[in-house]
Structure 1
């Protein structure tokens, strides 16, 4: 009788993916993260609802320098107001930049001016305090500043809204035969917020407060004595 011998052989399936595929899978999360960061950088800044440009603004050019007067349409976002009532101070910056316009080259910055405001609420006395300084407020609270107390938030905001004859450039840096452009803005200083609030406020319109306007500076106002 013819005997038939059969041998059964099996080959283990390799479950390890190819090296190239594993490398590609590791690149996918990094690529998605880069794309997300790029979208954030390219996204336009979000303006808070109800805030627009500054309608009431005047510039005065005299022999003493260039002065700015403005009335800001200031309305605090609800998140900012809630934080104030919880005892968290809010910081604001008023900035003005004077540029000499040049047709043959880019405009030249000839003067910059800034004022810093700190608004805080004192729950024990239920009073508002507004401090103003020509330099940024330090974390230690040291420095020279002018402070005012108010009974109501509306009174403090009214004081913040009015800017009267603020000197933004000395006459020595201005030429009579040149034309100048003034860029002005008022904004909430997000860098002064507590660190956890800074992270949570990024990209949220409820924390955005920025008013801005650009205006040409008038020519020097000459008196009758100076014109002779």
Structure 2
């Protein structure tokens, strides 16, 4: 009888381990699938000296899925945002945020003109196709991120940039849907690099 009890305990333990193993496997597969579903990334990003300060140039590869494409063609405006943070490392404490900037985008479809409108800040431009509007949006050029005297020449700064769909700008019913569906949460990971400002001379 003790032998049967030990055997039963061993079987239950083995079964529990197998269930945990299968569950962990499914979690891993779902995580990989979620990552693979959105291949958005920042292909290139740099901060260079510009007129009166420093500007950002970046190329974004945004994986706009069929759900978002259908939404915008049905009249729902999509909002995107580029977020930039420049920090000064401090060995004795947390990094100091020197610059925090956002650049907002809005893509909408106008059924009467059958055109797509891209708004970047206060600038607006119309396109005949959604692809054309997206290509323009994903090519950031000469974005003024900070004045010249904000960053000290010769000091190393940590820079982080990401680009994402701003679900908080969706109509309220779609915000609820976005919470439960990853189809709406499109965006890149944070791209990080080190920037060393140089001495900028007037031209």
TM-score by length of 2: 0.76
1:186 counterpart residue number: 163
Q: Count residues with an aligned counterpart.
A: 170
Aligned equivalents of 1:172, 1:71: Cα separation in 2 = 26
Higher relative contact order (CA closer than 8 Å, sequence separation 6+): 1
Equivalent of residue 216 in structure 1, options 172, 188, 194: 194
Q: Deviations over 1:52-71 (max 9, x none)?
A: 43121122146832221111
Aligned equivalents of 2:158, 2:105: Cα separation in 1 = 25
Aligned equivalents of 2:141, 2:50: Cα separation in 1 = 15
Q: Deviations over 1:113-151 (max 9, x none)?
A: 111111001122210001121xxxxxxxxxxx2110000
| 1:64-83 aligned within 5 A | 64-83=52-71
For structure 1, which runs of at least 5 residues remain unmatched after alignment? 1-43, 134-144
Change (3 A) 1:161 1:60: same
When you count strand as a share of all residues, which structure comes out higher? 2
RMSD (Å), alpha carbons: 2.2
Residue 155 (str. 1) matches residue 155 (str. 2) = no
Aligned equivalents of 2:90, 2:51: Cα separation in 1 = 23
TM-score by length of 1: 0.68
Report the secondary structure of 1:54's partner residue.
Answer: strand
Change (3 A) 1:221 1:73: farther
For structure 2, which runs of at least 5 residues remain unmatched after alignment? 1-30
| CA shift for structure 1 position 187 | 0.8
